[in-house]
Amino acid sequence: MNKLSGHHHISMLTKNGRQNNHFYTKILGLRRVKKTVNQDSPSMYHLFYGDLTGSAGTELTFFEMPVAGRTVRGTNAITRIGLLVPSYESLHYWKGRFQELEVEHSDITTYAGKDALFFEDHEGLRMVLLNHHGQETPTQWQPWEGNEIPEEHRILGMGTVEITVRYLQRTVNLLQDLFHYTVVAENDQGTVLQSIEGEVLGEILVKELEGPSEKPGKGSIHHLAIRVATVEELQEWDTKIKELGLTSTGVVDRYYFQSLYFRDRNGILFEMATDGPGFTVDSTVDELGKELDLPPFLEEKRAEIEAILEPLE
C-alpha cells in the first residue's frame, strides 16, 4: 500500500458565511475556490478556501451553521491548524497585519520546533503561522495572486495540525501502525508524527489532555482529511480500517473527490480523500468560487437552495 502524501483539507464550523468569507479572503488572502453546499444538508453553505485551484493540502473548508453556539473547549478534538508562510520575515509581516486589523494574536514564539505566530479568527478558531524557511512546496501549490498580500509573505498551505485527546497512545498507534506515520519528536508538548518523514505538509501533533470532551460550535474543527492518490487505494484503506474494528462510511462520491470517513478510538473524525477530479470539474480556473456550484444530483433543486442561502458579498 502506498504511503499517504499529507493533508488533503480540514473542515470547520462557522456561524456566518459572510463574515467567514471576509476573514479568509480579505484578511488571510486565500482564494475562495468553491462556493457550494453541504451535500448531506444542502440548506447550508460549504465554502472552500485555498490556493489558485484549491490544491490538496491548501484547503480550509467551512460548513455554515447559523444556529451554531460557542465552542466549549476540551479534549478529544482537533484543536489547532498550522499554516505555512515562507520565512521568519513573513511572521513579522503577519504580526503587523494582525495588529492593524485587530486580529487576536501572540508574539512570535515557537511551536512543534518551528518559528510560530499564534492567532485566532473572529470566531475563536485556533491557528498558527509556521516558518517554512523557504523550503520547496508541492509543484501544484500556486498561491493566489488576487489579494493585497506581498508575494513573499503569502500563505502557502497547511502544516502541523494539532489533535488533543484523552488517551494519546490510541491516536498515535493508529497513525503509526495503520497509516505508517513516523514519530519525529516526543516531548512535553506531545508527539509529532509525519506522513512523509521530513515534510511538515502532513504533520500531526498529538497532545494528551484529561477532562470533558470539546463541545463543538462556531470556530470548532469538524474533521481532518488525509490525501489518498486513487479510488482503488481508498477502497483498500476502507478494508483495513474495518479490519481494525473501526466503523467506516465506505467510499462516498463527493463529486470533487472521493472520500471515506471514520473515527478513531478517541472519537476524532478523519476523512480520507482523493486528489481528483478537483474543483475545475465544473468550473474554469478563472471562475472558481464565483458562482454557486452544485453537484449534479442537487442541480434540480438549485432554485430552492438559492432561495435559502444568504449572499456572501
Ramachandran class of 65: left when φ > 0, alpha when ψ lies in -120 to 50, beta otherwise: beta
More confident residue, 216 or 189: 216
Report the pLDDT value the prediction gives residue 203, as an integer from 0 to 100.
Answer: 98
C-alpha cell of residue 2: 502506498
The helix or strand, by DSSP H or E, that contains position 245, with its residue range, turns out to be none
Residue 234 carries which side chain, given as an amino acid letter? L
List, for residues 70-93, the tens digit of each pLDDT value.
999 999 999 999 999 999 999 999
The 10s digit of each residue's pLDDT in 129-179 is 999 999 999 999 999 999 999 999 999 999 999 999 999 999 999 999 999
- Proportion of the chain above pLDDT 70, given as a percent: 99
Domain residue ranges in the chain: 4-306
Tell me if 58 sits within 8 A of 132, measured CB to CB.
no
Which of 196, 192, 36, 179 minimizes the C-alpha distance to 110? Answer: 192
93 Cβ neighbours under 8 A, 6+ residues apart: 150, 153
Pairing between strand 257-263 and 252-253? antiparallel
| Amino acid letter for position 302 | R
Instruction: Return the DSSP state at 177.
Output: I
Superfamily of domain 4-306: 2,3-Dihydroxybiphenyl 1,2-Dioxygenase, domain 1 (3.10.180.10)
Residue 144 and residue 66 in contact, taking contact as beta carbons nearer than 8 Å: no
Nearest CA to 48 out of 62, 38, 65 is that of 62
Bridge partners (DSSP) of residue 253 are: 258
